[in-house]
Chains A and B, each alone.
Chain A
Amino acid sequence: MDYTFQWGVAFKYLPDLLGGAWVTFHLTFIGFWIGLAAAVFLAVGQTYGGRGLRRAISAYVVFFTNTPSLVTAFFIFYGLPEVGILWSPYVCILVNLILNAAAFLTDVIRGGVASVRIAEMEAAETLGFSMLQKIRYVIVPHIAKVLYAPISNLYIVFILGSALAAIFGVEELTGTAFNIASDTFRTIEIYTLAAGIYVAMTIIASTILALAGRWAFRVKARIF
């Protein structure tokens, strides 16, 4: 082995990498919340909507869950300028993330909506609940408990998936690592450091999500 590690060089760039981690964080945070909001509407549409709407939503979900997000990102990044839409790389990646997140989350949420038992809905009906009350007091508490763990899991997956933004020149964690590595040639050290930051980031995110879930929905979510 004729490679000498120079960790000092890598650690000199730690602030830059942490700056990249901040971009990763807000990219995924914005994308996740918009995606989640869209997914709630799509899941409700898929459960209670008409036939055409249901078909359209399933087609969307099936398409995005079965294609790699890298390819849809390439499609958006290189395809849209062809029809005259010019977005910055950050916006392209964000849109791609939202489209993917909404599809995956719709799939998960629909499973949760389906898990509300008919007896529960009938009981609510008997008590004279309005639709809004049914959603507020029956459906949401029920599905929040079932879905909290898979959804918080998905958030971690989106953090990892956002690494592909580096390919399109967004300076998030991986993108910053790319640039520093090609400046300094200390590839192994820089990427190890970036990987370590990803591990730390996702562990912090899981911990916060698990604690929040325990506090808000009494979910026994696992951190590890």
Chain B
Amino acid sequence: MFQHALAQIDLFFTWQNGILWLRAMVTTLSMAALGCGLGFALACVLVYLRSWPSIALLPVRILLIAYVEIFRRIPFLVLIFLVLFGTRALGLRMPLFWIACITVTVMATAFIAEIVRAGYESVHRTQWESATVMNFGRLRTVLFVVLPQAWTVIIPPAFSYFVMFIKETSLASQVGVYELMQTGKYFNNVGISPFLAFGTCLLIYFALSYPLTRLGWHIERRLKHRFRRIAGPVLPSASVTASL
């Protein structure tokens, strides 16, 4: 039953293959990190623009809301094909790695914008008002009053989205990015047993994702401990609800 897999162990666990897996791991991590980092920055800008209460900016607000609603509802696989063929049609010959990064950015912006908005809303209205009374401008209110209070609400779910995107980028293998999943497929294609090839792949993903999930819980607990303002019933932890 498993003789096929067992016979290949010597063939499979060599240091050259180890380097191949390691490079794939770096690719996977950097796709998720770059995409989520950029997405986080863009989401902050987006929510800042959206919170601007001017009638002249109403079309911008509607556009931003539509952006968030639409891109949270398109599967990664469909979006990555759209980005791939869209950039090709525009005449941009980007490496596939950047195609995947753009896709993650587009999706992460939409997801994280929702979190940042929830963070804004967690800050009481009187805080905004008192900042206005103190003659703070919009940007200064956000930077010095709202964000310092909101980031405890923003960081834990945003972090769990980062972990989610590490797993989601496995779909980037479908356009040919050489990351973990693609490496697993490569080994399977050259005749390594699927138990070994995909099993290793599974274990590496787990080794990446699990410590980061634990780190997320740790951050969440630390933040809750420091700012004990959340009273009432114990709800499912923020990172659990956010990863949905």
Contacts and interface: CB of A to CB of B under 8 A. Distances in A.
B234 A115 contact: yes
A115 B198 contact: no
A74 B194 contact: yes
B218 to A, nearest CB: 16
A112 B194 contact: no
Given A63-B206, A67-B209, A115-B236, A191 B198 contact: no
Interface residues of B, number: 53
Contacts of A166: 77
Contacts of B82: 188, 191-192, 195
A69 B204 CA distance: 14
Contact of A68 (B74, B78, B167): B167
A68 B79 contact: no
Contact of A66 (B213, B235, B241): B213
Interface in A132-154: 146-147, 150, 153-154
A114 B90 CA distance: 52
Given A75-B199, A114-B234, A163 B77 contact: yes
B193 interface: yes
Interface in A158-213: 160-164, 166-167, 174, 177, 181, 187-188, 191-192, 194-195, 198-199, 202-203
Question: Chain A at the B interface: mostly helix, strand, loop or mixed?
Answer: helix
A8 to B, nearest CB: 18
Nearest to A185: B85
B53 interface: no
Contact of B89 (A3, A107, A156): A3
A156 B108 CA distance: 17
Interface residues of A, number: 56
A156 B75 CA distance: 10
B234 to A, nearest CB: 5
B78 A191 contact: yes
B237 interface: yes
Contact of A67 (B78, B167, B185, B241): B167
Question: Chain B at the A interface: mostly helix, strand, loop or mixed?
Answer: helix
B24 interface: no
A29 to B, nearest CB: 17
A75 B205 CA distance: 13
Nearest to B69: A224
A160 B79 CA distance: 11
B195 interface: yes
Interface of B: 1-2, 4-5, 65, 69-70, 73-79, 81-82, 85-86, 89-91, 167-168, 170-171, 173-174, 180-181, 184-185, 188, 193-195, 198-199, 201-202, 205-206, 209-210, 213, 233-237, 240-241, 243-244
The 10 closest A-B pairs by CB, nearest first: A111-B236, A163-B75, A78-B194, A3-B89, A68-B167, A68-B170, A66-B209, A153-B244, A187-B85, A160-B75
Given A1-B89, A198-B75, 16 more contacts: A1-B91, A67-B205, A68-B170, A70-B170, A71-B181, A74-B194, A75-B194, A111-B240, A162-B75, A163-B77, A188-B82, A191-B85, A195-B74, A195-B78, A199-B70, A202-B73
7 contacts: A68-B171, A71-B184, A79-B198, A82-B194, A83-B2, A111-B237, A150-B241
